Amino acid sequence: MKISRFKKSHKTLVFFATNFDYREPYQVLVDATFCQAALLHKIGIDEQIRKYFQCSAKLLTTQCVILEAEALGAPLTGATTIVKKFHVHKCGHEGKPVAAAECIKSMTKDNRYIVASQDRLLQESLRKIPGRCLLYLHKATPVLEAPSKASKKWVLKQAKDLMLGKHAAKIDYMKEKQGLKPAEATTSSSTKRKGPKNPNPLSCKKSKKEKSKPPLQGVDQTALTKAKRKRVKIPAHVKAALGKD
């Protein structure tokens, strides 16, 4: 393989590995159309893909792909034989098979598959979704398609959002450092102003009120009041002065 082809494929793999978490061994999801093109140009799919990627890759297919190829009959007999050699991944359509294209779309929603297909409609549909990686045959040559516009746009948006977030945080830090932006007041229990506390109800004793005694029966209350009056003692010199007068 030419160095320029290897550089292009390696650059594409690095893009998807960096931005969409594609990892080795790369999982290649193969359909019957890809097998038919390989059979037409007399190439071995497993050998050519490993040679093209120059790294570990795992070739997979689904039950829906095999059943659709079988249903098409004699024209795809050779392609059906080839696709059956790959490892069959569970697609969730067991017992209720769907069209191969729909099955592949559902498989790529939550997983990182490189889709190997010659189906033009499937390719166009996957190009509109960020993170979808496509592989096809140009005559007898495997071609890993460059990232689609949707994938590039998504990556650019993520980079802009990250840069704006970092830029805003840096501006806030510089403003606070130069005193242009007041720091947020932190109030804690130790810095709060303490006011007078209410007395503990358990430590307060209730004031005892003097019980009023009931009046004695048969006794003149006026006499008792006079008897209770204190006598004022008059000094002797005052008495003498009053006697002279």
pLDDT digits (tens, 9 = 90+) for 80-96: 999 999 999 999 998 89
Q: Is the pLDDT of residue 185 over 50?
A: no
Contact assessment for residue 99 and residue 63, using Cβ atoms and an 8 Å cutoff? no
Exposed, middle or buried: residue 32 (CB in 10 Å: 0-12, 13-18, 19+)?
A: buried
138 vs 201, residue with greater confidence: 138
Cα 189 from Cα 203, distance rounded (Å) = 26
Name the percent of the chain lying above pLDDT 70. Answer: 67
Contact assessment for residue 143 and residue 149, using Cβ atoms and an 8 Å cutoff? no
What was the pLDDT predicted at 47? 92
Contacts of 140 (CB under 8 A, 6+ apart): 41, 42, 43
Contacts of 127 (CB under 8 A, 6+ apart): 134, 148, 149, 150
- Of 93-97, 136-140, 146-150, 202-206, least confident by mean pLDDT is 202-206
Contact assessment for residue 132 and residue 151, using Cβ atoms and an 8 Å cutoff? yes
Positions of E strands within 97-183: 113-116, 133-138, 141-144
pLDDT digits (tens, 9 = 90+) for 203-223: 665 555 555 555 555 555 555
To which H or E segment does residue 59 belong?
A: strand 57-62
Contact assessment for residue 121 and residue 65, using Cβ atoms and an 8 Å cutoff? no
Cα 187 from Cα 189, distance rounded (Å) = 7
Supply the Cα-derived Rg of the chain in whole angstroms. Answer: 49
Compute the average pLDDT of residues 101-119. 94
Cα 133 from Cα 204, distance rounded (Å) = 81
pLDDT digits (tens, 9 = 90+) for 20-53: 999 999 999 999 999 999 999 999 999 999 999 9
The two structure tokens encoding residue 200: 């503990």
pTM (two decimals):
0.66
Q: Is the pLDDT of residue 178 over 50?
A: yes
Exposed, middle or buried: residue 135 (CB in 10 Å: 0-12, 13-18, 19+)?
A: buried
Site of tokens 């019980």: 211
Phi, psi of 12 (to 5 degrees): -65, -45
